[in-house]
Amino acid sequence: MARKQSGDGSKTEALAELDQARAGRESAEAAERAAVLSAREAGVSWSRIGELYGLTKQGAQQRFKPGVKRALAEAGD
């Protein structure tokens, strides 16, 4: 929850907290991309992936397919 603080120390702490949250989000997104790639490689359909996220097949493809393609291209390099 947001805290109201004053002073440079609190700004430094707030920025550190924000940076930690950013890094956590990036890590979670990378793990999610890897899991989607793994699922696709295992033969899981876009429809089933979409169900997990409350999306249609097309919604899942729009959300994840670019990352899967990028990961496959990077693996091929």
Q: Residue 2 is encoded by which pair of tokens?
A: 């947001």
pLDDT at 49: 98
pLDDT tens column, 36-51: 999 999 999 999 999 9
pTM of the model: 0.74
Mean pLDDT value of segment 22-35? 95
Write down the pLDDT at residue 76: 79
- CA distances for 46 relative to 22, 61, 70, angstroms: 28, 6, 17
Given this model, what pLDDT does residue 46 score? 97
CA distance 44 to 5: 48
